[in-house]
Structure 1
Amino acid sequence: MAATATVIHSARLLTGHEEIADAWVLLSDGIITARGSGSGWRDALAAVPGGGAEPAIDVVDAAGLTLLPGFIDMHCHGAAGVAYDDPDQAEIERALALHRSHGTTRSVLSLVTAPVDALVTQVAHIAELTGQGLGVLGSHLEGPFLADEFRGAHDPTMLCSADAASIDRLVAAGAGTLRQVTLAPELDGGMAAIERFVAAGVIVAVGHTATDYAGARAAFAAGASVLTHAFNGMRGIHHRAPGPVVAAMAEPQVTLELINDGVHVHPDVVAMAFAGAPGRVALITDAMAATGCSDGPYLLGSLEVDVLDGVARLAGGGSIAGSTLTLDRALLHAVQGCGVPEQQAVAALTSVPARALGLADRFGDLAVGYAADAVLVDVDFTVISVWADGARAV
């Protein structure tokens, strides 16, 4: 008989806005139903129907450990040898399980550049997976509406400008689950595309773009609210040409994604981003199929990729092609490698992405009424246990 509820007690509770010693939380019916500190968990247990019968209640002693909200990855392409454009649900579940073992309880499935017809099919497939209890929040289109100059690991033969018909087809295929689209606003029809996607309830991210500071500010004014993997796939910061990163820092409604693997962005620049956009940095993985696997040859969309020492690049030593990062490593590197305060770092993979995705009322916190997503870690942020919707996953 599976446990109907779980109480985790004697933990250090840490979220993006609070820290509580000797804390406890009660997970039941897929949500957090009670919490407190000290020995109050015993009284809470007694109030649960069947609370005195084992194994109806799973009691977890978390002394010496830290309890965090479940991690949210708003930009991830796969893992375990699987890309999220794979139509096989079992394969996608295998990739999700790999990330879940590292603390990610909610994922937006990212798709790389492909023909619009193919993307329509892929978005529709992800729509079917959303809401099935897999932790899938929807899809993210990273392409094909990208600038060739800053395409990175995207097939140049498939890049195009956004037109109204393509936008409408993609939105319709998502049936409300197309969560985010990355585009270059300077392309023909780019600003109109921002407005059309936003009107359809899709979050627009500026990325893989040749736009400058003024162009990025205009895109954000038109409704874009995310900067895709800040510093990568765009112009850098120059003292006379600040570029899209500084433009994003200047806009209080904009979230800056960061791939914090020690390769994509220098640790001091990561710290600068946290200081320049307090409470608005979202740590992402941008992980591709090689995540959790050995070095060697892989595919990212239609392009060949070589992974060496965990770093993915286009075959032949080309552009960085996503990452092999997991969010627990991103958190550890933020705190120990970049000097980011723990609470800010935790927010960057919990409450910040939840807010950016418009889901801050359900995810990213350990408050009563929130989804029962939690991660228990040790002092080095090594994942000990994971709960998703109240079920123990690790």
Structure 2
Amino acid sequence: MGGIILSNARIITPFDEIYSGTVEVENGVIRKVYYGKRSGGENLEGKILVPGFIDIHTHGIRGYDVTLSALEGSVDRVVDALMAMSRAYSVHGVTRFLPTTVTAPHEVLLIAAKGVAETIDSQRDGIEGALIEGLHMEGPYISREKAGAQNPRYIRSPSINELKEYWEASRGKLKTITLAPEVKGALELIQYARSLGIHVSIGHTNATYEEAKAAIYAGANRATHLYNGMRQVHHREPGVVVALLESPQVYLEFICDYIHVSPIMIKYTIRCAGIERIVAVTDSIIATDLPDGTYSLGGLEIIVKDGVSRLRNGALAGSTLTMDKALKNLVKLGIPLKDAVRTLTYNPAIAVGIYNAGAIMPGYTADLVVLDENLKVESVYVRGENIL
């Protein structure tokens, strides 16, 4: 693997803005970042250079879904689906992602975990799209009252033995799990997960304030799609939302499609919690990049109309959002570009323990995205290789 030079761009690191700036890459790693115009390399004058987007909560895209492929009963089907998803995400500036399962039978989740491990191994031999960083299990240890589009048939009590099996099947690539802290056995599971290095996210929960704080003290450090699938705030029982907002160690996922959370609440939460804790995710489903119609999520029928995905009872069921659209939506709210970029890059990386990506600084992997002045994705680099 050789070296490349990307010169004369407006660089969003995302902590600072360098204009004009140049990035030198060698062997897939950023070696130098500096101000000033220069000749040579690829001239990106008039373009914006940002870190590659990292989506840590996505179920599927363009006809593929990680849980659906596992329901078909074959690790090979999971691998094929993940490779197709990898290519589809890269078009939207995603360079790393966590394929996310929904609540399903134990054997199905084991197949998904094995498929993720196999795909990660295969990506070491060559890069065709976004890199898979590991598995995000959304469920099955969640609240029945706040199941949302999760199949209630397969919701079950936390099991350390089950979690150990998922961990082993994924070859240690289970990055994060979403659970409800109020269910019996959740606190013990959180402690065990953290001992393995798994990041625990609070979601699909009817937890009280005290129950949520207990989970945070036990080691939970993320919130899955904040406000959605959660007990709402009440002036006599603040609930899980307030516990999450006031805990500085907790990263807060947002689905920035203006549907799951209103623009006003997005801006309000950023003011309250600080941009450093906000993580933009898509929660995208199989119908993303496809026309309206009837699709499936974890075996449940979903209907997509005008790009909005719902169960037949009207409950929201994931989204058809893409990360490049999420960036544009944040900027439209008046969020400074470097702050908006941070929520798609550095913050999600740190939230799940990825420490070599998400920023344009020496020593970081050269996962880079070139945008035009309208924030349209023009080209994508993964480990210094131009894949788009």
- TM-score class, shorter: over 0.9
Identity of aligned residues (%): 37
Query: What is the distance in 1 between the residues matched to 2:104 and 2:326?
Result: 28
The equivalent of 2:360 in structure 1 is 366
After TM superposition, the structure 1 stretch with the greater mean CA deviation from structure 2, 79-88 or 155-164, is 79-88
Deviation string, structure 1 residues 4-61 (Cα, Å, up to 9, x no partner): 332111110013311000111122311112221224564xxxxxxxxxxxxxxxx322
Query: What is the distance in 2 between the residues matched to 1:266 and 1:39?
Result: 41
Which residue, out of 82, 90, 114, partners 2:64?
A: 82
Query: What is the distance in 2 between the residues matched to 1:342 and 1:241?
Result: 36
The equivalent of 1:300 in structure 2 is 297
The equivalent of 1:253 in structure 2 is 249
Normalising by structure 2, report the TM-score: 0.93
Which residue, out of 350, 357, 360, partners 1:355?
A: 350
Deviation string, structure 1 residues 272-296 (Cα, Å, up to 9, x no partner): 1111211101000110111111111
The equivalent of 1:94 in structure 2 is 84
Q: Is the 8 A contact 1:101 1:393 kept in 2?
A: no
> Residue 317 of structure 1: CA displacement?
4.3
Q: Specify the SS of the correspondent of 1:229.
A: coil
Normalising by structure 1, report the TM-score: 0.91
> Residue 75 of structure 1: CA displacement?
0.6
1:1-394 residue pairs with structure 2 within 5 A?
4-40=2-38, 42=40, 59-85=41-67, 86=69, 87=75, 88=77, 89-131=79-121, 132-133=123-124, 134-278=130-274, 279-314=276-311, 316-336=312-332, 338-360=333-355, 362-394=356-388
Q: Is the 8 A contact 1:79 1:96 kept in 2?
A: no
Deviation string, structure 1 residues 248-273 (Cα, Å, up to 9, x no partner): 12111110000001110000101111
Query: What is the distance in 1 between the residues matched to 2:57 and 2:91?
Result: 17
Deviation string, structure 1 residues 213-258 (Cα, Å, up to 9, x no partner): 2211111001000000001000123333322222112111110000
Q: Specify the SS of the correspondent of 2:23.
A: strand
1:199 is matched by which residue type in structure 2? S
Q: Which runs of 5+ in 2 are unaligned?
A: 70-74, 125-129
Q: Is the 8 A contact 1:126 1:138 kept in 2?
A: yes
1:121 is matched by which residue type in structure 2? I
Q: Which runs of 5+ in 1 are unaligned?
A: 43-58
Q: Is the 8 A contact 1:24 1:41 kept in 2?
A: no
1:274 is matched by which residue type in structure 2? I
1:347 is matched by which residue type in structure 2? R
Q: Is the 8 A contact 2:13 2:361 kept in 1?
A: no
Q: Specify the SS of the correspondent of 1:288.
A: coil
The equivalent of 1:47 in structure 2 is none
CA separation of 1:208 and 1:9: change in aligned 2, threshold 3 A: same
Root mean square deviation, CA, Å? 1.5
Detail structure 1 runs of 4+ shifted over 6 Å in the superposition. none
Deviation string, structure 1 residues 184-218 (Cα, Å, up to 9, x no partner): 11111111111111111111101000002221111
Deviation string, structure 1 residues 293-337 (Cα, Å, up to 9, x no partner): 1111111111111111111111x242111111111111110110x
Q: Is the 8 A contact 2:83 2:119 kept in 1?
A: no
How many residues are treated as equivalent by the alignment? 373
Query: What is the distance in 2 between the residues matched to 1:276 and 1:221?
Result: 21
The equivalent of 2:72 in structure 1 is none
Q: Specify the SS of the correspondent of 2:133.
A: strand
Deviation string, structure 1 residues 78-97 (Cα, Å, up to 9, x no partner): 10100023242233222221
